[in-house]
């Protein structure tokens, strides 16, 4: 009896061990241990570009070896000569009639120039002293390159073609930046809207890089080309809201603002604005706003303002650009400032404090201080600029 009773009690105890009750609550975490030793440093990255003093640049474009002329920009907006630097290409010795013949890309710290005299384009670097060095020169993919556009590692050029031929063959052609070289992008050359002289005068990427836009002055068209993996697709050729669209720029909100020469009548120039859809379609917002000035050609934006150089009027027209892309004249009569005769290329300093205009006979660079209300105050012009100079860039 005793032995059986002991076994029964032992079985109860073992059963209780097998079927424990629920665990109790977890206690609070203990204090953190000491930090481990730092890991070893990673490999050093490539040094970024060293920024030289601010400057303004133009393309000498003489008949013969082409050069970029550089000018140091002081804090008060005034310019002084820095020097000239070879592009390794040939100039035309005459105006090229376009916007964007010389452009500066701030991200890569490089310049891109057309050499209309030998149908090439050049890429140049800038060093900490402000000197330019030629990196690469390549055939432009057509005849008479007049305008260059840059986005990331993509470079596209607009070629006006041979205007003396029956088939002028204006086109665009693309290149990729590979280190210090420009390399042609396969299947990137695209014809413009016609085989006759459509006369492209400006090419630029949309702010997001998804599209290229081209102004065809004599065809009265604005073209868009979707860019897929760096390759321009077939063009979408659209009628311009105004006659003879010449040059354009983008507002901070991404609206396209276009200067239009007009019919050629005195005081007949205009300016239009557009939105661009996800499919590359341009929708007019303000259509052919009359500026009352003549030969409105070059245009740049500076925040909420756009400025147009009027070659025949020797004036600059200021335009208010609203956040929704609506345009109004800054000044009644369309005259915000006067320039030397034959006002052409324009450039705005990166801080939007100064506007520069290539104009005059003899050639000068006219300088203006941009006020907060968009008004312009003239500074002393820079004399001694090459008579054949085209294009203007500021950094």
Domain 140-238 in CATH 2.40.50.140? The answer is no
Average pLDDT, the chain: 91
Q: What is the pLDDT of residue 31?
A: 64
Could you tell me if residue 172 is left (phi over 0), alpha (psi between -120 and 50 degrees) or otherwise beta?
A: beta
Average pLDDT over residues 234-257: 98
Phi, psi of 101 (to 5 degrees): -70, -20
The set of residues, in sequence order, having a beta carbon less than 8 Å from that of 3 and lying 6+ positions away, is none
Q: What is the pLDDT of residue 184?
A: 98
The bridge status of strand 171-178 relative to strand 154-159 is antiparallel
- pLDDT over 70 (residue 76): yes
CB 61, CB 344: distance < 8 Å: no
- Please, where in the chain does CATH 2.40.10.500 lie? 140-238
State the CB neighbour count (10 A cutoff) for residue 131.
14
Average pLDDT over residues 75-79: 97
For residue 72 the two structure tokens come to: 């140091």
List the alpha helices (DSSP H) in the chain.
2-18
Q: What is the pLDDT of residue 51?
A: 72
CB 198, CB 216: distance < 8 Å: yes
286-323 tens-digit pLDDT: 999 999 999 999 999 999 999 999 999 999 999 999 99
Query: How far out from the chain centre does Cα 203 lie?
Result: 9
Element counts in the chain: helices (H) and strands (E): 1, 30
CA distance linking residue 286 with residue 282, whole number of Å: 12
CA distance linking residue 221 with residue 240, whole number of Å: 5
Q: What is the pLDDT of residue 242?
A: 98
CB 146, CB 163: distance < 8 Å: no
Cis bond before residue 362 (omega within 30° of 0):
yes
CA distance linking residue 143 with residue 124, whole number of Å: 21
Q: What is the enclosing helix (H) or strand (E) of 267? A: none
Average pLDDT over residues 188-196: 97
CA distance linking residue 258 with residue 242, whole number of Å: 9
Average pLDDT over residues 109-118: 98
With bands split at pLDDT 50, 70 and 90, how would you rate the model's confidence at 361?
A: confident
């Amino acid at each position: 009896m005793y032995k059986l009773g002991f076994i029964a009690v032992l079985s109860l105890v073992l059963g209780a061990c097998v079927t424990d009750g629920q665990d109790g609550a977890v206690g609070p975490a203990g204090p953190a241990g000491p930090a481990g030793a730092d890991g070893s440093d990673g490999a050093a990255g490539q040094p970024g570009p060293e920024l030289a003093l601010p400057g303004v640049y133009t393309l000498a474009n003489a008949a013969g070896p082409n050069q970029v002329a550089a000018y140091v920009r002081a804090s008060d907006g005034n310019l002084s000569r820095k020097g000239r630097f070879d592009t390794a290409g040939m100039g035309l010795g005459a105006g090229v009639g376009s916007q964007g013949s010389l452009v500066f890309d701030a991200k890569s710290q490089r310049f891109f120039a057309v050499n209309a005299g030998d149908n090439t384009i050049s890429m140049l670097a800038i060093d900490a002293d402000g000197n330019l060095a030629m990196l690469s020169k390549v055939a432009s993919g057509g005849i008479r390159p007049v305008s260059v556009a840059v986005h990331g590692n993509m470079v596209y050029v607009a070629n006006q073609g041979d205007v003396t031929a029956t088939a002028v063959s204006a086109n665009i052609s693309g290149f990729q930046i590979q280190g210090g070289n420009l390399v042609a992008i396969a299947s990137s050359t695209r014809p413009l809207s016609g085989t006759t002289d459509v006369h492209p005068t400006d090419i630029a990427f949309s702010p997001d890089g998804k599209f290229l836009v081209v102004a065809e002055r004599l065809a009265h068209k604005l073209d868009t080309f979707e860019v897929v993996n760096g390759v321009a697709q077939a063009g979408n050729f659209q009628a311009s809201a105004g006659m003879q669209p010449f040059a354009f720029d983008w507002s901070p909100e991404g609206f396209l603002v276009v200067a239009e020469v007009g019919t050629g009548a005195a005081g007949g120039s205009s300016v239009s604005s557009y939105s661009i859809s996800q499919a590359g379609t341009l929708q007019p917002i303000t259509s052919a706003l009359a500026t009352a000035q003549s030969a409105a050609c070059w245009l740049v934006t500076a925040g909420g303002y756009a400025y147009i150089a009027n070659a025949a009027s020797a004036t600059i027209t200021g335009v208010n650009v609203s956040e929704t892309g609506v345009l109004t004249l800054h000044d009644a009569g369309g005259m915000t400032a006067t320039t030397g005769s034959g006002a052409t290329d324009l450039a705005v300093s990166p801080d939007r404090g100064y506007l520069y205009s290539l104009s005059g006979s003899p050639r000068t660079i006219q300088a203006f201080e941009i006020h907060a209300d968009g008004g312009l105050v003239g500074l002393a012009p820079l004399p001694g600029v090459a008579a054949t100079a085209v294009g203007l860039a500021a950094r």
